[in-house]
């Protein structure tokens, strides 16, 4: 846990440096699968979303240069993604998200090819832009990561509480249906004026008929923009997760805070299981 806290602290400082340089909202995540680590940097509702791809490529290169200068664990990273996303909110609540552009680099800051990433799914209707799974395949590792861009439990992206579910499986889901993994991982990220989860946190994922309960410690750091950054990685047995989403609702409880997922969020979790075989 001490090593995890150190890593997340470094990510928080890197995020602060990027925000200070460009003055835009940024999310920074480190995704790890056995033998492979990917650093993802996402500009949220950037002014460059409506500009040319050349301008976004230039920003991406400048961002990677900051990573090389300010991220001490850069040597442990295999790939760096710089993304530009469009996030829509209504009444301060997350509504939909889509990726405008994505540029991949190696850890030396050079553009690379060979990473296959699915495009965001189109909305089911004009009125309802649902949260959809994204699928990234790494040919070098022969592994696929299935994840949601982010379930906003409280506040807005970059200033609130976000939950990112992710599955890591062997094989290319574009060509085969691999076996289900042993665990699904939930990444929790909180950004607020003061820590939301000090001390040991009671954690519950409550479905209609089955619940998963444990305790966890959020790592905490103070970023340069003044926000308290808290992170927690939670592994839940996939078999239990499958039973949780077999019902109609799922509620996330973190200490005294309680969040019932919206219909769109719950259906997005269910869609993640379509890429793997039933256990």
Taking only the tens place, the pLDDT of each residue in 48-99 is: 999 998 999 999 999 999 999 989 888 888 889 898 988 765 434 444 456 7
- The number of distinct structural domains making up the chain is 1
Which domain does 241 fall in, by range?
2-275
Q: What is the pLDDT of residue 215?
A: 92
Q: What is the pLDDT of residue 46?
A: 92
Q: Are 248 and 269 in contact (CB under 8 A)?
A: no
Q: What is the pLDDT of residue 149?
A: 74
Exposed, middle or buried, 218 (CB in 10 Å: 0-12/13-18/19+)?
buried
Q: Which residues in the chain come in under a pLDDT of 70?
A: 1-9, 32-36, 88-98, 113-130, 157-158, 222-226
Residue environment code for 183-217, b if the CB has 16+ CB neighbours within 10 A, otherwise e: bbbbbbbbbbeeebbeeebebebbbeeeebeeeee
Length of the chain: 279
Q: Which residue carries 């078999």 as its tokens?
A: 239
Q: What is the pLDDT of residue 92?
A: 41
């Amino acid at each position: 846990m001490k090593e995890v806290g150190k890593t997340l602290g470094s990510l928080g400082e890197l995020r602060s440096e990027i925000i200070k340089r460009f003055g835009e909202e940024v999310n920074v995540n480190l995704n790890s699968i056995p033998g492979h680590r990917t650093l993802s940097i996402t500009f949220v509702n950037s002014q460059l979303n409506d500009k040319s791809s050349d301008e976004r490529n230039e920003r991406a290169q400048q961002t990677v240069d900051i990573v090389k200068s300010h991220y001490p664990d850069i040597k442990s990273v295999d790939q760096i993604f710089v993304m530009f996303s469009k996030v829509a909110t209504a009444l301060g609540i997350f509504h939909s998200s889509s990726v405008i552009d994505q540029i991949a680099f190696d850890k030396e800051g050079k553009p690379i090819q060979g990473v296959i990433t699915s495009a965001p799914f189109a909305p089911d209707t004009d009125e309802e832009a649902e949260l959809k799974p994204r699928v990234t395949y790494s040919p070098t590792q022969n592994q696929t990561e299935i994840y949601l861009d982010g379930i906003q439990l409280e506040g807005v992206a970059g200033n609130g509480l976000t939950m990112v579910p992710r599955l890591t499986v062997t094989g290319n889901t574009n060509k085969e249906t691999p076996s289900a993994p042993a665990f699904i991982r939930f990444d929790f990220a909180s950004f607020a004026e003061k820590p939301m989860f000090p001390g040991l946190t009671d954690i519950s994922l409550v479905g209609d008929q089955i619940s998963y309960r444990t305790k966890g410690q959020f790592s905490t750091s103070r970023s340069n923009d003044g926000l308290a950054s808290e992170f927690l990685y939670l592994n839940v047995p996939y078999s239990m997760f499958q039973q949780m989403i077999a019902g109609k609702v799922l509620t996330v409880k973190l200490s005294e805070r309680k969040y019932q997922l919206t219909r769109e969020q719950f259906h997005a979790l269910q869609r993640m299981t379509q890429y793997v075989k039933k256990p």
